Chains A and B, each alone.
Chain A
Amino acid sequence: MRYAGIDIGSRTIELVVIDEAGQIVGSRQADSGFNPMVRAKEMTRELTYDSIMATGYGRNLFEISFDAPTVTEIKAHAVGARVLFPGGTTVLDIGGQDSKAISVLGNGRVKKFEMNDRCAAGTGKFMEIMARSLGFEIDTFGDEALQFKNELTISSMCTVFAESEVTSLIAQGCSPQDIAMALHKSVIGRVVQMLKRVLGDGDIVFTGGVALNRCMQQLLADKLDRKVLVPDDPQLVGALGAAFLARDAG
């Protein structure tokens, strides 16, 4: 038997298929685009599986279109992170349009969670807009920030105000790398506040697209003085968790 998990997020869709032993036997990733259900359908045709579970903000639409069970991204991330890192006790997921901190019990159940989904601040979307305003690619944004020389502070967390703060720092002659570092630090400051509300002892598992950013990984570990574990493919964690839940559902 093969079990699939699909995570339909605001920016990307991930599909993971596992076998009975829990080994990943296939995965796909694509941009959500303007019609995520059409995209999801295309992706599910490319892989074979016996049952599927959906998560992410598009899960309810998927449930209607595909008659599949669903799970919230909170639970899916908790399960997925626990599968990859059995010692992790707290999950930080920074996705395209929200960020969440989840405290996980030993049995993989969610103990407590906090979410920011009210504004773009501290999300992948924020990072994208800021990288663009500094002329960086999102993939190398973190590496550029790590090249910083001078400490700067960005105080606005609102995307719109932060962008104008960036513009005025550029006008003052600050280097893009220094500004990039300041932006990373401001996001981490915000994320850590949320994380501290649920933080237990033990390692932190960092998931979602923003976890690929090396500067974010480093700042997080420094700020919390904890080990930060990043999966090889942090964007797949939600889909992986859903696949395991599909398997457990039988």
Chain B
Amino acid sequence: MKSAIMNNLQQISEQNLVDIEQARENGQTAVGFYCLYSPMEIAVAGGAIPLPLCGTRNDPVAAAEETLPRNLCPLIKSSYGFAVSDTCAYFRASDIIIGDTTCDGKKKMFELLSRQKTTHVLQLPQNQDAELSMSLWRSELERFKKIIEDATKVAIDDTRLRSAISLMNRERQARKTLMDVNKAIPAPLKGTQMLEVLFKVGFLADKKMGISFMEEVTAKAREGAFLPDTSAPGKAKRILLTGVPVGLGSDKVVKIIEQLGADVVAFENCSGYKQAFTVDESKPPMEALAEQYLATPCSVMSPNLGRFALLAEMIRDFHVDGVIDLTWQACHTYNVEAFLVDEFVQESSGLPTLHLETDYAESDSEQLRVRIEAYLEML
């Protein structure tokens, strides 16, 4: 059952690339995204296909280091490396690129990336203060809309926006419902399985197909289809992974935690639960998008209070035994915020945290294993 579902996902993913090529031949535009802050709804409203391009594999890092400094976040190097080495089918398929000024490394990387492909960078404010930041963000989203209109030759009106918001809300709701499955004890899905489903579904051009696939996995997981036959129910320590995003290829920490007998039951990051939001469908669409997306609780915001509220909610709802805070090497914002996360989690829930700083390479796996094992012994 388990393997049948995953094989099906593999087939859907392979077919997806063919479908995207077909759609582009028929005149549809593909828009590459690098960050959760840019609303995909605007691309969808213009009839374009949104593609997440954030790099999660180590392979292209060497190619990136021919240009970028070695002491830079592996996510940025991987993203750039995929582009310059032409090894990512989704980057190749993208007609234009949308980036945003999230962190220093990314915004400077986008300057170089624009030599590979037309790149538009949205000026993301550094805090979520309504008076200071909202007018800038609103005007950036208007500019974004114009960019999509120019690329797709579609006039994006409120009706189109509303239906895009509704579709994307349904997709996010399906994601959230799937992730919420692991509130149960024992967790019906392994962290690595959850990661694979969420990661691969993200690329699907046919959003409705992605939604129904996630609904199917949710139903099967609830029936216990993914539970190992030999599990000791409820014995595994339940870990919340917070911090930087993880995807296939950058999931070594999740794998090590599982190898050591614990479960990663929740992901407080932008590849996980930070996507579990709903855009308000009762408000004027551009306003609703600006408000909801700016509220994304990433460490690039200062202060980033939303993250602590989300952590508290998730620690409670997912019945968490421990919190592991992951920082990609040279990601200053998450690295500094780790101190506040540790302090907050200890004070609010009495749990110790483990902060790990690493990159996409496997070279430090044994060192990570000792730290994680010692942390699990503490719980």
Contacts of A73 in B (CB 8 A): 370, 374
Which B residues between 139 and 165 are near A, CB-CB below 8 angstroms? none
**Known contacts A110-B377, A110-B378, A111-B352: A57-B364 contact under CB 8 Å:** no
Residues of B in contact (CB 8 Å), total 10
Whether the Cβ atoms of B366 and A75 lie closer than 8 Å is no
Whether the Cβ atoms of A74 and B352 lie closer than 8 Å is no
Whether the Cβ atoms of B370 and A117 lie closer than 8 Å is yes
Residue of A nearest to B358 (CB): A118
**Complex formed: what's the CA distance from A117 to B358 in Å?**
12
Beta-carbon contacts of B361-379 to A below 8 Å, as 1s and 0s? 0001011001101100110
Q: Is A112 close to B, CB under 8 A?
A: yes
**Complex formed: what's the CA distance from A97 to B364 in Å?**
14
Which B residues between 67 and 89 are near A, CB-CB below 8 angstroms? none
Whether the Cβ atoms of B374 and A113 lie closer than 8 Å is yes
Whether the Cβ atoms of B370 and A74 lie closer than 8 Å is yes
Give the total number of A-B pairs whose CB atoms are below 8 A apart.
30
Beta-carbon contacts of B44-69 to A below 8 Å, as 1s and 0s? 00000000000000000000000000
Residue of A nearest to B376 (CB): A72
Whether the Cβ atoms of A72 and B373 lie closer than 8 Å is yes
Whether the Cβ atoms of B378 and A109 lie closer than 8 Å is yes
Contacts of B374 in A (CB 8 A): 72-75, 110, 113
Given A73-B374, A118-B367, 8 more contacts at CB 8 Å?
A57-B366, A72-B374, A73-B370, A109-B378, A110-B378, A111-B352, A112-B352, A118-B364
18 contacts across the A-B interface (CB closer than 8 A) = A57-B366, A57-B370, A72-B370, A72-B373, A72-B374, A73-B374, A74-B377, A75-B374, A75-B377, A75-B378, A109-B378, A110-B377, A110-B378, A113-B374, A115-B370, A117-B367, A117-B370, A118-B367
Contacts of A115 in B (CB 8 A): 367, 370-371
Among B352, B364, B366, B374, the most chain A Cβ lie within 10 Å of the Cβ of B374
Contacts of A75 in B (CB 8 A): 374, 377-378
**Complex formed: what's the CA distance from A183 to B144 in Å?**
57
Residue of B nearest to A109 (CB): B378
**Complex formed: what's the CA distance from A57 to B364 in Å?**
13
CB distance from B379 to the nearest CB of A (A): 10
CB distance from B366 to the nearest CB of A (A): 7
Residue of A nearest to B346 (CB): A112
CB distance from B8 to the nearest CB of A (A): 36
Contacts of A112 in B (CB 8 A): 352
Contacts of B377 in A (CB 8 A): 71-72, 74-75, 110
**Complex formed: what's the CA distance from A25 to B193 in Å?**
49
Contacts of B373 in A (CB 8 A): 72
Residue of A nearest to B369 (CB): A60
Which B residues between 102 and 133 are near A, CB-CB below 8 angstroms? none
